[in-house]
Amino acid sequence: MRYWVDFDGEGFEVTIVEENGTQKIILNGEAKEVELFKIDSNGTYVAYVDGAPLIFHAEISGNGEVKVSLPDVTHQMNIVKSVGRSGERRRVVDAGPAKIKSPMSGLIVDVMVEPGASVEKGTPLIVLEAMKMRNEIKAPRPGIVKELKVNKGQTVETGTVLLTIE
């Protein structure tokens, strides 16, 4: 079975084959023997890739959204069955408005722009507080503030859309 694993635009084709009772995974032309085990029922796994243990945590949402935490790094990816010719499939990068999401749970202590405001890359947009730290969220690119979705004093979760820039 072939899968396309997409990391926000950049991706790999991953093929899983069964051979004589062992599972192999092929990535970039390299085939490796793999075994997968659950460590607990909370999403912790160990995969042995050519005998090397890879402990990880996976959160699998619908639609192929998978969040994988290796012990030292976390990656968000989209997994779909690959149907095109090998290596051909590419995700179309979204060129629409930039959604500014909250990078963590916290409290909006200041909103520094209004809808319609013109911002440069780096313009401070919002001040978020958590754990006694105040963090300025800055514009990732120039544009016009379109929708403002939060207010001062409001609590937000990780990933909440704060505003959009067009």
Partner 1 sequence: MIQRLLVANRGEIAIRIGRTARDMGIEYIAIYSDADRNALHVLLSDRAYRVGPPESEKSYLNMDRIIQIAKDAGAEAIHPGYGFLSENAEFAERVIEAGLIFVGPPPEAMRLMGDKLQARKLAQKVGVPTVPGSREGISSVEEGIEVARKIGFPVLLKAAMGGGGKGMRVVRSEEEFTSAFKLAQAEALGAFGDSTIYIEKFIENPRHVEMQIIADRYGNVVYLGERECSIQRRHQKIIEESPSPVMTPKKRKEMGEAAVELIRAAGYYNAGTVEFLVDKDLNFYFLEVNARLQVEHPVTEVRLGMDLVKEQLRVAVGEKLGFSQKDIQPRGWAIEARIYAEDPANNFFPSPGLIKFLREPQGPYIRVDSGVYQGYEVPIYYDPMLSKLIAWGETRQEALARLKRALNEYIVFGIKTAIDFHKRIIEDERFRRGEIHTGFLNEFTYTSLERKKEAAIAGTLAYTRKSAAISVDKGECQPESRWKTLGRELALKGGIDEILG
Kindly list the residues in this chain that would bind partner 1 in the complex (CB under 8 A).
1, 3, 5, 7, 10, 12, 14, 16, 25, 27-28, 32, 34, 36-58, 60, 64, 66, 68-75, 77, 79, 103-107, 109, 124, 127, 129-136, 153, 155, 158
We find the least distance from the C-beta atom of residue 109 to partner 1, in angstroms, to be 7
Using CA atoms, how far apart are residues 87 and 13, in angstroms rounded to an integer? 6
Cβ proximity to partner 1: between 47 and 117 the closer is: 47
Among residues 20 and 28, whose Cβ is nearest to partner 1? 28
| Closer Cβ to partner 1, 55 or 166, answer by number | 55
Shortest distance, position 116 Cβ to partner 1, whole Å: 22
Using an 8 Å Cβ cutoff, are 12 and 25 in contact?
Answer: no
Give me the least distance between CB of 90 and partner 1, in Å please: 15
Report the SS3 class of residue 63: helix
**Are 55 and 40 in contact, with CB atoms under 8 Å apart?**
no
- Residues with Cβ within 8 Å of residue 3, at least 6 apart in sequence: 13, 14, 15, 16, 79, 80, 81, 82
State the amino acid at position 166 in one-letter form: E
Nearer to partner 1, 44 or 89 (CB): 44
